[in-house]
Copies of this chain bind each other. A is one copy, B any other.
Amino acid sequence: MKILLNNIDLNEALFDNSNIGFVPTMGSLHDGHVSLIKKSLKLSNKTIVSIFVNPKQFNNKEDYKKYPRNIKKDLKILEKLKVDFVYLPKIKDIYKGKNKIKIKLNKQDKILCAKHRKGHFEGVIDVMTRLTKIVNPSKIFMGEKDLQQLLLVKRFVEKDFKSKIIYCKTIRDRNKLALSSRNMLLNKNSLNKAGKIAKSLIIFKKKLSNNKNLKDLIFIKKNELKKKYDIKIDYLELRNTENLKLTNKIKNAKIFIAYYINKVRLIDNF
């Protein structure tokens, strides 16, 4: 029994009681999602997971169509985790006529995936704004694999809502490949390659800490990966983890990569 001695106590107790943790997903859940959900279950009174493949964030129609969907398996996973609520909105639940949101990225935001997937983050921020308004959570759990997405959503959502974005570590399979729903689109051979690329970059990153010609080394590495694994690389860059600016310093920096393997676009950071 909680004793509330004044209105501040009361507001905290009664309305923090709606301490809702929110895990927005596009379904095809994997252990990366599971780790977000477990964190939410731990930190929130109620956890709500949404599954919504948001058409507006796909700059490519084909990509939207082929995005993996496994709702039955997803529900089994969520049931087992004892999630409180699963939210399966229709497109009209999210995009009701009235509120048109116009998202404008700054010039300095148009880097990494923002440069290579036109309109993608505008779509992500739009849907995240709408979802946050609808769900009104205390906390939103997002994975660090999509660090650029996380930072942008954090900036836009925390500006307008009380919801806090909670960072969650990237989960990797035993080959060190970062978990992603898109991995399901890869055959064994490509999965194998992607794992090797991840491992190679982990080793590369470790070496970097004792080296100085960073820009050159990264350029060489990029060409090496391209040739060795026959992949198209959108970017391989060292950037500051807070403002995502290009940097020559190892401290607070990560290597960001986006590449196509077998027509599937994967991203990661180390």
Instruction: Provide the bound-state CA to CA distance between A87 and B11, in Å.
Output: 11
A220 at interface (Cβ–Cβ under 8 A)? no
Chain B residues within 8 Å of A260, by CB: none
A106 at interface (Cβ–Cβ under 8 A)? no
Instruction: Provide the bound-state CA to CA distance between A79 and B14, in Å.
Output: 18
Question: Is B46 a contact partner of A17 (Cβ separation < 8 A)?
Answer: yes
Q: Tell me the number of copies of this protein.
A: 2
Closest to A79 in B: B1
Question: Is A93 a contact partner of B134 (Cβ separation < 8 A)?
Answer: no
Interface-lining segment among A2-10, A61-69, A209-217, A262-270? A2-10
Question: Is B134 a contact partner of A13 (Cβ separation < 8 A)?
Answer: no
Question: Is A83 a contact partner of B1 (Cβ separation < 8 A)?
Answer: yes
A90 at interface (Cβ–Cβ under 8 A)? yes
Question: Is A85 a contact partner of B1 (Cβ separation < 8 A)?
Answer: yes
Interface string of A19-62 (1 = CB under 8 A from B): 01000000000000000000000000010100000000000000
Question: Is B10 a contact partner of A134 (Cβ separation < 8 A)?
Answer: yes
Question: Is B18 a contact partner of A86 (Cβ separation < 8 A)?
Answer: no
Closest to A9 in B: B87
User: 6 pairs across A/B with beta carbons < 8 Å?
Assistant: A1-B85, A2-B85, A4-B87, A6-B93, A7-B93, A7-B134
